[in-house]
Each structure stands twice: as C-alpha cells, then as structure tokens.
C-alpha cells in the first residue's frame, strides 16, 4: 500500500519546488536578481551579519547591479534612500551608475544625495575603485560641483562634519567654482587657505568669533560669548560650559537630540531648570518626528541607550510617545491578523550588522518584536506567535506601550529557526486567518524537507485550503537572497526595517499592489531629473 503520509493529497495550488538552499543549507526559494538587489539595498549596511560578511554583500551587490537593467539600479537607489532611509547602499548604487549610465546617474543624483554625508559617501565609494574606476569622471564631478555650488551655508557646515573623506578633501578634489564672494571665502576657510574675513557668511563668521572669544579673550566678569547656530559637532572640542551645552540642547534638531541624550546627561544639561521639559516636548512632537524621517528601530535604540539613572523619566517617556508617532504608517486591518516574530538565535545579530564600536544595540529580534508590538497596538485583536524551533508562548497586553511589549517579546527565544512553526500551529488550531506576517531572517532549517517545496509552503497551502482569501507577508530583515515562501499572488516578500514596510503591507492586504508586489512598486518609481 502506498505511504499516504509521504504522498498525501494537498488541496489548492501545486507547491513550487525549492530551487535553492539557504545559509543553513536547507531548501529555499531564490529571489529573482531584481528582488535580490532590492533586498540588499533595503537591509544591507555593508557590515558583517550572522551569515554574510561585508565583503560578500558588496560582491553580490556589484554582481547584481551589473546584471539587472540600469534603470532598476537607479530606482532601487531612490527607494533605498527615500523609503528605507539607507545611506551606504544608495551611494554604492549611484557609484555603479557612474560606470554604467551617467544619464541615469544625473536623473537621480540630486534625490539620493540629499545631504553632505551622502555626498561624501558617494565620493568615497567611487574613489575606492570597487565599482571599476578610481576617479569621478567628468559628469559625476560636475554633479558633485553642482551640489557644492548650490548648497546653503548651513548645508555646507553640516557636510563639513566627518571624515573619510572630509568635505575639504572633496573640495580639493573637484574644485568648485564659487558664484559668490561668500562661497569663495567659505571654501578657502574650509581648506585652510587665506580668505577675506569680511566675506565669510554669517554662521561661519559667528563661529570664528565665538572660538576666538572663548579661547583668547579674557572674560573678566563679562557675559559668555553667544553660541553660534552651527552644527554642535564643530563646538565639542571647545571648552564649553554647562550653560552652553544646555543652549545646544534647546536649539538642537530632533535627530540630534535623539542621538545625544547621554552626551547631554554627561555634561549636566538635564540639571539646568527647564531643559529636560524642553527636550521632551521636542522629542514627542509628532510633526518633528515625521520630518526627521526617524526609523522606529532608532527610537528603540535611543530608549535602550538612555539609562534611567542619567536621562530623566520625562525624556524617556517622550521617546515612547515619539515611537507611537513614528508608527503612524502601521495599517489598521480587518479580519484575523497573525504576526509571527522570529526569536531564534540567528536573530541576535545587530540589525545593521557589526560595525565595531559603532555597532547598534538593536538586534534583529528587537525589530521583529517591534513590528509585532506595533501591529498589536493598532490592531488589538492581532494574534502574536513568536517562534524559534517551535512557537513560544508570551503574554502581551495590548494596552502596554509598544516599547514594553517589544521588550517582552525580545526577551524570549534563542533556539533554531523554524519559519513554518506558526503556520503549523494555526493549522493545528483550525484557525480562520486573513493575514499572516512573518518577520525573520528566513534562514529556516529545523523544518528542512528533502524534496519538493519548503515546509513553510506546505503549511501555507494547507492553511489556504481552509482560508482561500488569506495572504502571507514575509518581512526579511537581513541581506540574504532566499525565502521560505515563494512569491505568488497571495505571498509577498518585502525587505527592510523602516516604517515604509507597513505601507506596503497595507496595500498588499487591500489587494492594491500589482504583479511582483514590492519589487513591482520599486519598478514604478519615475526617473526624472530634479
């Protein structure tokens, strides 16, 4: 008699046969070259992850960017910068365009290079030679010159913070032609050449006056010199007083405050009356959160780093309020929603990879937990099924803050990866499901099958036979090239850890995405020079 367990009949669409293996050598489905490039651009930070080195990521990006159409390279660079708020990958893709299609480079350069750090990233990558050239070339050089010649004084001052290369290095390399006297004086000031002091623009002139007054003029009971409105990094090497630091905090941008709470605490800023309340008010300002383009995981990082012994409770509470504002894109969905965060051992890697002393304290497991908690906050009936080798039981209170529930979820797990486990649990329960969201690195191996499709697809097909309208979303947080669920009309694979992912899920759940889902949305991005 035939083995009915081995040859059991499945209802619905025939399972696609696995055509690849993942990093655990378990069966998987390979992404298309375009999807692989988009995945790398949305999640890769060119740093070491659990399974892939920085060098491996770089090699794959370069190979894929040469394989796909250059217009898709340009659109992926735009998506990674606009929606994913990435820095290194968009600059790398621009550098590839500099060798493949300078007309496309010109069309998207100004939209990707939207600040001085992105400009310096682009120049550094090109001159490194990894994309096949070590000089900028005439068209890229003109684009860099144009950025320098049209930037405001404040943009130039912000761009002057940082090295490898410094903005002075860039200016010496491309020799921008000043259109106005202030630009000529400013560029000379930047690179240490003689300049007309009277021609310096106001912020730079005030900075020079402040430095001279602080370092060379006796105070003799005179008031402290007025703090100039320049990037605070230009001031940190000076002997600033607590009052100066407090003024920096009061004037600081939203992102600067988020990134420097412990610095302010070290300098006694929060002991100055009114400063803690002023900082908290700015941090919880919903409009400021939106303008800052903050990633939810960055708020989680700030909250984790802001120690309760140093940073006042009012400021830490404001970060929680800011998180609620940052998650405005989390969709409110009809029906039974199930979110499945991967809490296995491989999810312990930093979400942006290992970067030495600059490594993020936020791990993939924290982001997966954050996504689950965010869905639960907007959709109180959401069922959360954390998984490692099996489904892990965690009690969550939908009335708790997103931060609290994310921390509770991230505190569990650590075993092997079994992406099919939550789907198997739903099938065991005979649950009626409308949308399942799996947040993982997709490196499943506990449920590896020796033939046919993956166990994830087998379990999904079984669920679909019971819930024919159900949809599955796999959010991949790492720059790998396979999935456990093959792309098809009812299955979407999306990469990234910005809040843009929530909008894509909402469109998919409502049936408004076209073919290829996420990659198809990237393909629709218009390429227009600005």
The 3-class SS string of 87-148 reads: CHHHHHHHHHHHHHCHHHHHHHHHHHCCCHHHHHHHHHHHHHCCCCCCCCCHHHHHHHHHHH
DSSP 28: E
The residue among 243, 239, 285 whose CA lies nearest residue 268 is: 243
Q: In what order do the strands lie in the sheet with 20-21?
A: 20-21, 27-30, 482-483
Angle, vertex CA 397, rays to CA 391 and CA 401, nearest 5: 115
pLDDT per residue as tens digits for the range 497-520: 888 888 899 999 999 988 789 999
For every residue of 343-357, DSSP letters joined together read -SGGGGSBTT-B-GG
Phi, psi of 28 (to 5 degrees): -160, 175
Identify the pLDDT of residue 2: 46
DSSP 428: H
* pLDDT above 60 (res 39): yes
Mean pLDDT of 56-69: 94
Mean pLDDT of 202-207: 96
Q: Which CATH class is domain 20-28+330-523?
A: alpha beta
Identify the pLDDT of residue 191: 96
Identify the pLDDT of residue 311: 95
pLDDT over 90 percentage in the chain: 63
pLDDT band for position 378 (cuts 50, 70, 90): confident
Identify the pLDDT of residue 324: 84
CA distance 184 to 453: 65
Mean pLDDT of 77-84: 93
177: burial class by Cβ within 10 Å (0-12, 13-18, 19+)?
exposed
In the chain, CATH 3.40.50.410 covers 20-28+330-523
CA distance 214 to 208: 10
CA distance 100 to 105: 9
pLDDT band for position 12 (cuts 50, 70, 90): very low
pLDDT per residue as tens digits for the range 270-311: 999 999 999 999 999 999 998 887 878 888 888 888 888 899
Identify the pLDDT of residue 7: 46
* Whether the Cβ atoms of residue 493 and residue 508 lie closer than 8 Å to each other: no
pLDDT per residue as tens digits for the range 173-199: 999 999 999 999 999 999 999 999 999
Q: Tell me how crowded residue 156 is: count the other CB atoms within 10 A of its CB.
A: 21
pLDDT per residue as tens digits for the range 438-472: 999 999 999 988 778 999 999 999 999 999 999 99
The residue among 393, 432, 383, 430 whose CA lies nearest residue 413 is: 393
Identify the pLDDT of residue 293: 79
- pTM of the complete model: 0.89
pLDDT band for position 219 (cuts 50, 70, 90): low
Phi, psi of 377 (to 5 degrees): -70, -40
The residue among 302, 386, 288, 399 whose CA lies nearest residue 344 is: 386
């Amino acid at each position: 008699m035939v083995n009915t367990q081995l040859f059991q009949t499945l209802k619905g669409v025939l399972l696609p046969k696995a055509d690849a293996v993942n990093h655990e050598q378990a069966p998987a489905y390979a992404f298309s070259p375009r999807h692989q490039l988009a995945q790398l651009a949305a999640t890769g930070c060119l740093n070491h992850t659990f399974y892939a080195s920085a060098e491996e990521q770089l090699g794959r990006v370069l190979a894929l960017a040469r394989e796909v159409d250059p217009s898709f390279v340009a659109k992926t660079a735009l998506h990674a910068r606009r929606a994913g708020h990435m820095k290194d990958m968009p600059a790398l893709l621009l550098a590839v365009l500099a060798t493949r299609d300078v007309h496309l480079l010109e069309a998207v350069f100004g939209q990707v290079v939207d600040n001085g750090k992105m400009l310096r990233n682009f120049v550094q990558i090109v001159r490194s030679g990894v994309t096949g050239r070590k000089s900028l070339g005439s068209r890229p050089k003109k684009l860099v010159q144009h950025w320098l010649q049209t930037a405001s004084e404040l943009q130039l001052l912000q761009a002057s913070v940082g090295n490898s290369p410094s903005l002075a290095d860039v200016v010496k390399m491309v020799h921008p032609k000043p259109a106005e006297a202030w630009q000529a004086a400013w560029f000379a000031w930047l690179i240490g050449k003689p300049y007309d002091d009277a021609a310096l623009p106001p912020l730079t002139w005030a900075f020079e006056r402040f430095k001279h007054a602080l370092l060379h003029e006796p105070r003799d009971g005179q008031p402290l010199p007025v703090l100039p409105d320049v990037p605070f990094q230009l001031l940190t090497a000076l002997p600033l007083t607590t009052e100066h630091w407090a003024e920096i905090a009061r004037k600081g941008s939203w992102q600067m405050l988020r990134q420097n709470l412990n610095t302010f605490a070290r300098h006694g800023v929060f002991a100055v009356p009114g400063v803690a309340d002023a900082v908290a008010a700015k941090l919880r300002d919903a409009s400021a959160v939106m303008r800052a383009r903050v990633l939810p995981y960055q708020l989680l990082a700030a909250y984790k780093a802001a120690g309760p012994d140093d940073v006042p409770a009012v400021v830490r509470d404001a970060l929680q309020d800011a998180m609620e504002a940052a998650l405005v894109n989390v969709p409110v969905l009809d029906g039974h929603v199930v979110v499945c965060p991967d809490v296995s051992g491989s999810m312990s890697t930093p979400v942006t990879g290992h970067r030495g002393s600059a490594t993020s304290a936020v791990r993939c497991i924290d982001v997966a937990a954050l996504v689950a908690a965010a869905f639960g906050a907007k959709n109180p009936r959401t069922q959360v099924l954390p998984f490692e080798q099996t489904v892990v039981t965690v009690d969550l209170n939908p009335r708790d803050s997103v931060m609290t529930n994310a921390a509770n979820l991230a505190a569990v797990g650590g075993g092997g990866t079994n992406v099919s486990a939550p789907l198997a649990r739903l099938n065991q329960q005979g649950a009626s499901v409308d949308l399942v969201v799996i947040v993982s690195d997709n490196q499943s191996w506990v449920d590896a099958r020796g033939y046919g499709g993956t166990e994830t697809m087998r379990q999904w097909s079984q669920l679909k036979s019971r819930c024919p309208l159900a949809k599955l979303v796999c959010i991949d947080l790492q720059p790998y090239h396979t999935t456990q669920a093959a792309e098809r009309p009812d299955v979407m694979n999306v990469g990234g850890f910005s809040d843009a992912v929530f909008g894509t899920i909402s469109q998919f759940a409502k049936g408004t995405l076209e073919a290829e889902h996420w990659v198809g949305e990237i393909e629709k991005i218009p390429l227009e020079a600005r």
